[in-house]
A = this chain, B = another copy of it.
Amino acid sequence: MPKGRLEAFSDGVIAILITIMVLELHTPQGTSWDALREDVPVLLAYALSFIYLGIYWNNHHHMLAAVHRVSGAALWANLHLLFWLSLVPLTTAWMSENDFPPIPTAVYGMTLLAAAIAYYLLQTILLRVDGGQSMLRAAIGTDFKGKASPLLYCLGIGLSFVNRWAGVTVYVVVALMWLVPDRRVERTLTAGRGDPG
């Protein structure tokens, strides 16, 4: 099954999610700097979720670039991933509008955890379709980040109940870990094309 429409649909959904989050932001109450300052935590939570969705789009982009075809099961695994990502705007709003209390902050982490697991499932299914010698397999390598993220999310969820900022800090750290350029896939893809650049 060609992968074009799967890519297009995923791009569409992630583009919409990353954009409609802004609809959950309310204009500040009043027109002073103080009014804006009160909204800063909400804006930072928005920025964090924007980065997370950007990371997912980016990784999804690379993963699909490394496979040649997809199966029916991959379509559903992809929708499953999109389902959890679609809850990000809601949990971001719940967490940030209430000033980061324990339960919503933990639930935010659970959404990230569920998305990470869904991503792992999708990756596993794509690998099975593509076969053992696949370019994707080579590109993933030891998949350190993919394995560390769920553990860190669990840590963040637990810490949310200890101190509200500790949980959020872990989520920020995971985002930064992914933001650090990851040239594995790019390098492998380039190597696969015999391109020295």
Task: List residues of A whose CB falls within 8 A of some B CB.
Answer: 1-2, 5, 7-9, 11-23, 25, 27-28, 31-33, 36, 47, 50-51, 54, 57-58, 61, 65, 71-73, 75-76, 79, 82-83, 86-87, 89-90, 93-94, 97-98, 101-104, 107, 179, 181-183, 186, 189
Known A9-B11, A16-B19, A16-B20; further 14 A-B contacts with Cβ < 8 A: A5-B61, A13-B18, A16-B16, A17-B19, A19-B20, A20-B20, A22-B90, A27-B93, A27-B94, A31-B102, A50-B86, A58-B72, A58-B75, A72-B182
24 sampled A-B residue pairs with Cβ under 8 A: A8-B11, A9-B11, A9-B15, A9-B61, A11-B12, A12-B15, A13-B15, A16-B16, A18-B86, A19-B20, A20-B20, A20-B23, A22-B90, A28-B94, A31-B98, A33-B103, A36-B107, A47-B83, A54-B79, A57-B79, A61-B75, A71-B186, A72-B181, A72-B182
